[in-house]
Amino acid sequence: MYKNRPDHPGKQMSFSFKRAPASGGLPEPFLKWAGGKRQLLPELMRRIERIETFGRYHEPFVGGGALFFELFRRRAIKAQARLSDNNPNLIVAYEGVKNETDAVIRLLEDHRARHCKEYYYEMRAAHPTSLAAKAARIIYLNRTCFNGLFRENSKGEFNVPFGSYKNPRICHEENLRAVAKALKKAKVEVRSFETVLGRAEPGDLVYFDPPYDPVSETSSFTAYHQGGFGRESQEQLAEVFRALDDKGVKLILSNSATQLVLHLYKGFRVEEVQATRRVSCRGDGRGAVNEALVSNLESPGL
């Protein structure tokens, strides 16, 4: 297992979390994302704070990007980060906010002014062509749909019903501008997770937050969009994790603390922490489930 390897050769830039601003504030995730990691941030940060330096930050299952935004707020992103996910709609939303900030805000203001059930379904069926309009549509649907779910049918069409929120926050301009600023320090791409193997260099930091290994047969955690993330994918991910460890990359991963996960990461530091998930397999949509944090980082002295 990776231990005290020489750090990243040239790009290492030192920072200290001790002088970093406290958690909270902007930017924060601009999408509601199943499996979002806000709740787990203190646990993740306690472990990452032990590393004095890292090269690039990589997040190959970026989703809502809670940890990236936290690291940015704490001024820990020094070299251009690599954020990716295999959901093209998600990445379009990131690209739109990053490159077409003003236009996305203007379009979201328009969606906000026209928002009602009928308009929601009209937008759900729409196929805009420009980057800004595509991004604003995704953000609008995400902020107003049932439970902030992201689900598509077999034709790749978004099919989540209207969510009856009293006053959904459709356009948070200040946050979108802060997000755009943070994303200037990142390359955001549609990619499958294993490609991180060819990109991460010794001394870089990778955070893996894959679709959860299901805690029960009926659990729907893996239904992020068409194409699940089954046992084979979990096994492939563990292989990628081991290969990166051999390469001297700093690693942290979160997943449910299932038998499979505990088995796949034997030999690494695995700690179980409690987390309340926003979307869970329980009927009431909430539940305390143990989460496994796997890492090759120095002991946080717990």
Pick from 30, 72, 193, 268 the residue near ligand SAM by CB under 6 A: 193
Q: Which is nearer to ligand SAM, 33 or 54 (CB)?
A: 33
Q: Which is nearer to ligand SAM, 108 or 223 (CB)?
A: 223
User: Is-contact 239 208, C-beta < 8 A?
Assistant: no
Pick the piece of the chain touching ligand SAM (CB under 6 A) from 128-136, 176-184, 209-217, 278-286: 209-217
Q: Which is nearer to ligand SAM, 64 or 96 (CB)?
A: 64
Pick from 27, 30, 35, 111 the residue near ligand SAM by CB under 6 A: 35
DSSP per-residue string spanning the chain: ---SPPPPTTT-EE--GGGSPPS-SSS--SS--TT--GGGHHHHHHHHTT-SEES-EEETT-TT-HHHHHHHHTT---SPEEEEES-HHHHHHHHHHHH-HHHHHHHHHHHHHH-SHHHHHHHHH----SHHHHHHHHHHHHHHBGGG---B-TTS-B-PPBP--SS-----HHHHHHHHHHHTTEEEEE--GGGGGGT--TT-EEEE-PSPPPSSTT--TT-SSSS---HHHHHHHHHHHHHHHHHT-EEEEEEE--HHHHHHTTTSEEEEEEEE-SS-SSTTS--EEEEEEEE-SPP---
Pick from 2, 33, 120, 140 the residue near ligand SAM by CB under 6 A: 33
Query: Binders of ligand SAM among 86-105, rule CB under 6 A?
Result: 86-87, 90
Pick the piece of the chain touching ligand SAM (CB under 6 A) from 60-68, 165-173, 245-253, 272-280: 60-68
Query: Is 61 a residue that touches ligand SAM (CB under 6 A)?
Result: yes
Pick from 28, 43, 95, 209 the residue near ligand SAM by CB under 6 A: 209
Minimum CB separation of residue 37 from ligand SAM in Å reads: 4
Between helices 131-144 and 88-99, what is the axis angle to 10°?
120
Query: Is 27 a residue that touches ligand SAM (CB under 6 A)?
Result: no
Pick from 27, 63, 163, 203 the residue near ligand SAM by CB under 6 A: 63
Minimum CB separation of residue 225 from ligand SAM in Å reads: 6
Minimum CB separation of residue 39 from ligand SAM in Å reads: 10
Query: Binders of ligand SAM among 223-262, rule CB under 6 A?
Result: 224-225, 229
Query: Is 72 a residue that touches ligand SAM (CB under 6 A)?
Result: no
| Residues forming the site for ligand SAM (CB under 6 A) | 33, 35-37, 60-61, 63-66, 85-87, 90, 192-193, 209-211, 224-225, 229
